[in-house]
A and B are shown apart, each in its own frame.
Chain A
Amino acid sequence: MIHPVLDPKLAPPFPKAALPVLRNPQLRKNVAHATDVITSKRGRLVAEKDDWQALRDAASALRAHVLENLGTYLEQFEERCTAAGGVVHWAADAAEAREIILNILRDENASEVIKIKTMTSAEIQLNPFLAQNGIEPHETDLAEIILQLGKDEPSHIVVPALHVNRSQVRDIFARTMHLPDLSDNPQELTAAARTYLRKKFLTVPTAISGANFLIAETGGVSVVESEGNGRMCLTLPRTMITLAGIEKVIPRYRDLEIMLQVLARSATGERMNPYTSLWTGVTKGDGPQRFHVVLLDNGRSDILQRERERQTLKCIRCAACMNACPVYRQTGGHAYGSVYPGPIGAILTPQLMKMEYAQSLPYASSLCGACYEVCPVKINIPEVLIDLRAKVTDQERNEERRFFDPLYLGMRMANKVFASAGRFQAAQRMMRIGLKPLTGKDGWIRSLPAYGARWTMTRDLRGVPQQSFREWWTSRANGKAKP
């Protein structure tokens, strides 16, 4: 399999990037199986809550409120976090965030760093940057270890290795941990990973985490996870660096009540996630003694300015949208060429990249609405997708090469045709005459030229009937008029 590139600046556009996946039956089977399992678990767990829709409304309102007052809550967070002994840094973009983190690590004389899964660090391409600067990052989330050792990339934001199956994990571990006799028994695989990790936890004194929530009221940070490896990272090291998008803030400690309920059910179909860690600043003699928070903007303030797109930032990274998405189910995450795949990635990535790259992503959806239906914070993803498509079109339509682009040409022509019923009727007749030679005796078209070939690649098309509806209507009216 081709090594996936999760950087929109370098990745091929979605339709092209999807091809190697569509030709990989093992990967498709793994993705379909995993998303089926999570979706059905989620369905069961959501069904047992009578007040699920009310919870969704509350979570959505809470997130919307935060975005309306983001500045206030961030300032409050900074003040309380600092008071508790933390150090807050503000990073305008990815480069600045990388520099801040590198400087902290240099101050610590770190040559290695342990990491608990953080999407934000992947967003700013932190690992390759650290490696270039002589600091070796070690992922500690089981799925992330599989990917790091297998030189693969995440294809899901909650279950990053969902495209890999057990026997593939065995092969990766056997090769990289030098365990030729390892079986694909899950317990044995976990034990191998645990042995590998223990050593890191006990020897590496510096850790990097993400954040599920920043709590303005207390200045605290919360991370939720399933394995406890995150908790090891959050307690054992001497120095802890948390990297978080500025939108991650919630007003009060008690707001976790709503957020944790909707997050766990939506993400993994559980009533409660196995590990919820909360920490505030530093405590003498207990846990990390130096604590930094890097607040990352990286395009988020721009998204905040746009009324309809702002809802993108309500996202709590539960990934329910990707599990529900029929496009994602066929392609997995790598096709999106982005750290954030699936429907949320399709709206988040082009905006974070300020529409300079990833223009194919808003089109990577059939607009079926399954993502909006499952979203626990009610992000109307289809609405944002359509908005972004309009932005892409506005951006492209004046480019010279678009003038003869069949799609742009077709859309402009169609609009002129639809503007008048007379022209429309003429076009109907022309279509009927034009397609006649391509239509078989059974009334079906098996092969279309040019752009239409993309339809007839896998589908036939019914030929244009002899009489349009409007012609039938007219002939019937004439018939009726006669005595």
Chain B
Amino acid sequence: MRASLFITCYNDTLFPETGRAVVTLLERLGVEVEFRPAQTCCGQMHANTGFRGEAFSLAKQFVRLYADAKAVVIPSSSCVAMIRDQYPALIDELGNQDLRRDFDALLPRVHEFSEFVVDVLQVENVGAYFPHRVTYHASCHGLRALELGDRPFRLLKNVEGLDLAPLDHLDRCCGFGGTFSVKNAEVSSAMMTAKLQDVLATRAEFCTALDNSCLMHLGGAMHREFAAMRTIHMAQILASTREHPAEVL
């Protein structure tokens, strides 16, 4: 099995440990991972802020870059949702039929990270060891746009030593929302405070998710509040073993 990792722009820049964990885990599961350095950004930030033309140019770049990939794995549910839900309309409006054909052929090979592990590799026990109390934040795009369902829970339940703490109001947004967090900074902060109350009430050591954008938001608030909890991408938990524990920052 050969898979191409689309690391996404902010994971590449701000959360490289997520990418390293994805590579470690997939290689452990027998996947030959490739990385195409020409990649940059899926265009979600532009699309969701109303910059449609800019988003389209990045969509085109993505489709061209991965047209021949066997599988594309993306450790960010919101970027996958961008590709699945918004690319078709963008391409229909601003692109041409050739691009649409290439996109339609590529789409079934684009997978969110947990989808790839559970559905494509058909593995639920990845042989991980992470002896900590962990709560899972279902990011809105993972929950609603991708309908990841119980895949993340199935993966976490099979991690040795992990104590899974249930989170109240699992379906409620953390308030990040991309540029929403700065355009409506005050409302975003109010939503974050509400979310943080639920997250901290779990008394977990770590809050995990399949999207570093929510974690950047929640983790930033935890650090500001001197909270005794940290955020960690699920790929890091799944990559963690007794011999090579997760790099916890």
Contacts and interface: CB of A to CB of B under 8 A. Distances in A.
Interface of A: 14-15, 18-19, 22, 28, 308, 326-327, 329-331, 335, 362-370, 372-373, 383, 386, 389-394, 407, 411-412, 414-415, 417-421, 424, 428, 431, 443-444, 446, 451-452, 454-455, 457-462, 464-465, 467-474
Contact of A327 (B20, B141, B187): B187
Nearest to A477: B35
A389 B50 CA distance: 4
Nearest to B175: A366
Nearest to A424: B40
Contacts of A372: 144
Contacts of B219: 462
A367 B41 contact: no
Nearest to A364: B184
28 contacts: A19-B186, A330-B190, A335-B187, A365-B180, A366-B173, A366-B188, A370-B140, A370-B171, A370-B172, A386-B48, A393-B50, A393-B51, A393-B52, A407-B179, A418-B9, A418-B61, A419-B40, A421-B37, A428-B13, A444-B223, A454-B181, A458-B192, A458-B224, A459-B192, A460-B223, A461-B216, A465-B14, A468-B12
A460 B173 contact: no
A461 B182 contact: no
Given A421-B37, A462-B220, A472-B20, A393 B49 contact: yes
Given A22-B187, A458-B221, 11 more contacts: A326-B194, A330-B190, A363-B183, A365-B177, A366-B176, A370-B172, A411-B51, A459-B217, A460-B220, A460-B221, A471-B16
Given A22-B190, A363-B183, A470 B50 contact: no
B91 interface: no
Give the most central of B46, B182, B184: most A CB within 10 Å: B184
B54 A411 contact: yes
Contacts, number: 198
Contact of B50 (A390, A424, A458): A390
B232 to A, nearest CB: 12
B46 A369 contact: no
Given A22-B187, A368-B173, A389-B49, A461 B220 contact: yes
B61 A419 contact: yes
B11 interface: yes
B190 A366 contact: no
B224 A386 contact: no
Interface string B150-194: 000000000000000000000111011111111111111111101
Contact of B46 (A15, A415, A443, A444): A415
B224 A470 contact: no
Nearest to B45: A414
Interface in B207-248: 216-217, 219-221, 223-224
A386 B144 contact: no
Given A15-B183, A19-B186, A368 B13 contact: no
Interface string B42-58: 01011111111010011
B144 A370 contact: yes
Contacts of B249: 443, 462
Contacts of B58: 415, 418-419
A446 B188 CA distance: 18
Nearest to B22: A469
Given A327-B191, A459-B224, A462-B220, A451 B140 contact: no
Contact of A469 (B20, B86, B216): B20
A415 B188 CA distance: 25
B12 A470 contact: yes
Contact of A390 (B18, B39, B52): B52
Nearest to B58: A418
A15 B86 contact: no
Contacts of B49: 389, 393, 407, 411
A101 B13 CA distance: 61
A431 B51 CA distance: 23
Contact of B7 (A365, A412, A469): A469
Contacts of B15: 465
A7 B194 CA distance: 29
A433 to B, nearest CB: 13
A84 to B, nearest CB: 44
B148 interface: no
Count chain A CB atoms within 10 A of each CB in B176, B183, B192 and give the residue with the most. Answer: B183
Contacts of B189: 457-459
B35 A473 contact: yes
A444 B50 CA distance: 30
Interface in B23-40: 23, 35, 37-40
Contacts of A367: 48, 140, 177-178, 180
Instruction: Output the residue of B12, B23, B41, B181 with the most chain A CB within 10 A.
Output: B12
B176 A392 contact: no
B180 A366 contact: yes
A405 B35 CA distance: 36
B57 A415 contact: yes
Nearest to B221: A459
B144 A373 contact: yes
Contact of B40 (A366, A421, A446, A454): A421
B236 to A, nearest CB: 13
Given A418-B58, A472-B20, A455 B187 contact: no
B99 interface: no
A193 to B, nearest CB: 33
A15 B186 contact: yes
B167 to A, nearest CB: 15
B118 interface: no
A79 to B, nearest CB: 39
A266 to B, nearest CB: 17
Given A366-B176, A369-B140, A390-B50, A15 B184 contact: yes
B16, B46, B141, B217: residue with the most chain A Cβ atoms closer than 10 Å? B16
A22 B189 CA distance: 10
Contacts of A424: 9, 40-41
Contacts of B46: 411, 414-415
